Amino acid sequence: MKTIRGPAIFLAQFAGDAAPFNSLPAIARWAAGHGYKGVQIPSWDSRLIDLARAAESTAYCDDLKGVLAREGLELTELSTHLQGQLVAVHPAYDLAFDGFAAPTVRGNPAARQEWAVEQMKLAARASANLGLTAHASFSGALAWPYMYPWPQRPAGLVETAFDELAKRWKPILDAFDQAGVDVCFEIHPGEDLHDGVSFEMFLERVGNHPRCNILYDPSHFVLQQLDYLAFIDIYHSRIRAFHAKDAEFNPTGRQGVYGGFQSWVNRAGRFRSLGDGQVDFAGIFSKLSQYGFDGWAVLEWECCIKDSEQGAAEGAPFIAGHIIEVARRAFDDFAASGVDDAANRKMLGL
């Protein structure tokens, strides 16, 4: 067993144009002041990182890590959630996702996809230069508009979508393999990889690629009513990153999983700050520790009620209080009899 690292915080939901959220030195000082030991950096935010420079310059990467080290912080992972989303976009979402891309490729789906793939490859090299072993991303989606089987899906539609998704990701996974970094797909509604079955469908199509792994976030499983503890039992060997995010599901006579097109605060399933929802974090930290997960526990704050500053302040001690220092010896070692093989055989009458 190994001890989970943390607490850490994903900076995407906090970065902004006002201090202290508008530069890496300032936001690092803010995070350290709340008790965090690590930060996950969104690679698309130029206020925090220049991805192209990080891919080409180890000196730049050393400087970036130095900024964090001066505050007692480590870099946990880079994130390409927005770029990964653009590797595969169904035409129904072209306009909705176009703003994720560089201005030069907006309105041109083919150019946008090419840009996204190049961004992913830059992220692979940048992660290697930064000494990282895991990377957080989304898979994108081609089949998601057909998630509910009405109208009836024509035979082969989903298979064709996953074949194409795997075709697009295989060269990216190979680039991450060359860099020695795992791609950790956040299993998330809106992505084609949204549960265990869909992850398996993709994994099979990329030849069980060693770099095809999982970012585990239980909040998305609460909203799907999926057994998030059993998920760890099944997929622990592929879980290489962890977002600590809370959620709750309170169905009524009027709405359930799909939420009736309501705002987040009015949905039956909604995200909450750590400790305010229904997620069994004691169970999660126990299982991840049992299976030897030694990555970072990273707060992702997305709450429809509580202010982000309060959520961040409460998140660090919450995570720290759940990290289990794993046992270095068995609890019953005091009762060891010290017998040898000959004695064992005698005890068995052999």
Question: What pLDDT, on the 0 to 100 scale, is given for residue 328?
Answer: 81
The answer to whether the peptide bond before residue 109 is cis (omega within 30 degrees of 0) is no
Residue 243 makes CB contacts below 8 A (sequence gap 6+) with 10, 136, 186, 215, 216, 217, 219, 298, 299, 300
Coil/strand/helix, residue 244: strand
Q: Which domain holds residue 124?
A: 5-347
The answer to whether the peptide bond before residue 151 is cis (omega within 30 degrees of 0) is yes
Give the DSSP letter string of 171-237: HHHHHHHHHT-EEEEE--TTSS--SHHHHHHHHHHTTS-TTEEEEE-THHHHHHT--HHHHHHHHGG
Neighbours of 201 (CB within 10 A): 19
Give mean pLDDT, residues 326-347.
77
State how far the alpha carbon of 23 is from the alpha carbons of 8, 20, 33, 73, 344, in Å: 18, 7, 15, 15, 64
Q: Are 2 and 38 in contact (CB under 8 A)?
A: no
Q: What is the pLDDT of residues 220-242, one digit of tens each?
A: 999 999 999 999 999 999 999 99
Question: What pLDDT, on the 0 to 100 scale, is given for residue 332?
Answer: 64
Q: Look at residues 77, 51, 187 and name the one whose alpha carbon lies nearest to residue 135.
A: 77
pLDDT at 346 over 90: no
Question: What pLDDT, on the 0 to 100 scale, is given for residue 340?
Answer: 84
Q: What's the mean pLDDT when you consider all of the chain?
A: 96
Give mean pLDDT, residues 103-113.
98
Q: Look at residues 184, 70, 42 and name the one whose alpha carbon lies nearest to residue 126.
A: 42
Count the domains in the chain.
1
Residue 254 makes CB contacts below 8 A (sequence gap 6+) with 260
Question: What pLDDT, on the 0 to 100 scale, is given for residue 334?
Answer: 61
The region of weakest confidence among 20-24, 253-257, 308-312, 342-346 is 342-346
Question: What pLDDT, on the 0 to 100 scale, is given for residue 211?
Answer: 98
The region of weakest confidence among 76-80, 120-124, 292-296, 346-350 is 346-350
Q: What is the CATH number of the domain that holds 52?
A: 3.20.20.150
